[in-house]
Amino acid sequence: MLLVLDSDKGVFLLEGATQGRNAAFHVDLLADGDPVLRIMLPLSISPVEDFYRWVNLRAAAGGSESRWTDISQPANFPDAEGNGKTVVFVHGFRVTEKGARGWNAEMFKRLWQNGCNARFYAVTWNGNDGFPNGLFYHENVVNAFLTAPAFATAFSAHDNETAVLAHSLGNMVVCSAIQDQGFRPAVYCMLNAAVPAEAVDTNAWSDAETGNPMVHHDWKDYASRTWAAKWHELFDENDDRNKLTWRGRFALLPTLSGTTLYNFYSSGDEVLGLRDLVGPDGMVVVEHNTGQQERNHSWQKQERFKGRKHYDSFAGLAATDQAGWGFKDVYVSNGDHSGSWEREVYYVAADANAATTNQLKSTPVFSNRPDALFNSTIPKTTRDALLAQAIPALSAPIGSRSVLQNQSNGLSNINANDTEIRNVDARWPRDSNAMYGTSFLHSDIANIALPFVSRLWALLVEAVADEEDE
C-alpha cells in the first residue's frame, strides 16, 4: 500500500475487513516516486471484545446469564501491552445482557481512542428485571444493592489501583460496594448518577412542605413529620427504623482519603432533571406524562410514585404499594363490583398533624405496607429494599447537579451540559429537536458521536489518568 508524501499533513485511516492474527502488512512511503521508508505493521484484527475482560454479575440478583465471566488475558490486548492499571465500567438501568455488551464496547473504544491504555473490565448486572422493565425501576434498585457484595468481591484484590466508571443506576452498585463492602477504588467517576444527592451530600436534602418538587401534591397541608421520608426521625438510634432514610446513606464516600471522586452530571439530563413548577397552591404537580413523555423527569416520578400503586391509573403501573406517598386506607366496596379507597384513620391533614409521636410510630399516615416497617430490628437487605420501594428521597439525583460544593473533600463536579465542554462549535446532532435542543441527555456520553463529545471524554480520560499516574 502506498502513501504519497506532500507538503500537507494528513491522517492515514485503515479499517480491518476480516479477522486475522499477526497479518503481514506494511506501508511504503514514496517521495517523487522513490521509496524512502517501509513501515511494518504486524496486525491482529479481531472483534472489540477481544480487547477486554467480561464480568457477569447478573446472578447476584437472581438474573440469568448466557455469557459467563471471562477474566483471562484478552486475546488482542494482553496485559504486557497496557500500563498495569485497571478501568471498570458499570452500566445502568434497563440494560440487558446483550445491551451491556454494546454499552461496554462503546465505552472501551472511546477510552482507547482518547489514549487510555489501562486494562478494561466490562461489567453487567441484573438491572433490567421485570417486563416491561421500564415499570420496575424500584425492583432494580433492590437488585443494585444485592449486586454490590459480588462487585466488591470481584474487584477488591486490586481496588486501590482501579478507576471505576458507572452510569446511571450502576452508581448504586458502586456506592453500596464502597459504603457497605469496604471497596476502595483509586478513582470513582459518577456518570449521570441515578442516586439521591442526599445520600452523599446531606445538605442537598429538603423537607420544605411547599414548593418542594420531591413531595407529592396529594400531601398538601400535611406536616413533614407525617411523611414516610421523615418517619425515621421518630425513632432513636437503637431502632433500625432510624436508618430508613436516604439522607447520608452513602456518607462514607466524601470522607475517603484514598479515592478521588468525580461527578460528571448534566443540567440538561431529561431523565434526572426535576420538574419544579410551583402551582398556585404551593405544590409541584408531577404526573406520568409530565414533561410530554414518560421518560422526562422519570427519576423524580419514580420517587413520587412510591406508595401510589392504586391511586393513579397510569402512574400506578410504575408505582409501588409500600409506604411512600400513599395513605393508610382501606378499599370500600359499593357492592356492585365498584368501590373506592378511603382513609382509614387520618381522614384529613388536620387529623394527621394533630397525631402524637407515638401514634405516628404505631399507625403512620402513609401506607402501612409492608409489615417489615413495624420491626425494630430490620436486616440490612430488608432496609435497602425498603429504601428502594417504600422510602422517598427528598433531594434531586446526583447526576443532575453539583454536589458537596461547600466541602473540602476534593470532589470535582463537571457539567457535561456546559457549552465549553460540549462541542457546539459544530452543529450539535440534535439541535433541531424541539423538546431537547442541544441539551446533553442521560445517555449522550455513549450515544452522541465522539467528535461532538470529545472534550468531555478528554476530561474523563484525564480523571482516569489520576489513577494511572499514581
pLDDT of 257 higher than 90? no
pTM summary value = 0.92
Q: Give the Å distances, CA to CA, from 298 to 96, 278, 323.
A: 19, 18, 19
State which of 124-128, 344-348, 410-414 shows the largest mean pLDDT.
124-128
Compute the radius of gyration of the chain from its Cα atoms: 26
Q: How many other β-carbons are positioned within 10 Å of the β-carbon of residue 229?
A: 28
**pLDDT band (50, 70, 90) for residue 2:** very low
CB neighbourhood size of 21 (10 A): 11
DSSP symbols for 292-328:
SSTTTTHHHHHHHTTT-TTT-TTGGGG--SSSTT--S
Local confidence band at 221 (pLDDT 50, 70, 90 cut-offs):
very high
**Beta bridge partner(s), residue 166:** 90, 190
**Residue 183: all three cell numbers together:** 471497596
Identity at 450, one-letter amino acid code = L
Mean of pLDDT values over 390-409: 88
Over range 364-375, report the average pLDDT. 95
Name the CA dihedral angle for 452, 261, 387, 298, rounded to a multiple of 10 degrees. -10
pLDDT at 10: 62
Confidence of residue 377 (pLDDT cuts 50, 70, 90): very high
Nearest Cα to Cα of residue 400 among 293, 304, 296: 296
* Highest mean pLDDT, choosing among 32-36, 161-165, 338-342: 161-165
The per-residue pLDDT for 54 is 98
Angle, CA of 360, 365 and 368, to the nearest 5°: 95
Give the pLDDT confidence of 101-149 residue by residue, as tens digits.
999 999 999 999 999 999 999 999 999 998 877 789 999 999 999 999 9
What does pLDDT average to over the chain? 90
Residue 133 — φ and ψ, nearest 5°? -70, -15
**Helices 137-155 & 380-389, crossing angle to 10 degrees?**
140
Lowest mean pLDDT among 18-32, 160-174, 231-245, 390-404: 18-32
pLDDT at 3 over 50: no
**pLDDT tens track for 68-84:** 999 999 999 999 999 88
Are 223 and 357 a contacting pair, CB within 8 Å? no
* 170-181 and 137-155 helices, crossing angle to 10°: 50
The three cell numbers of residue 378 are: 430490620
pLDDT for the residue numbered 1: 39
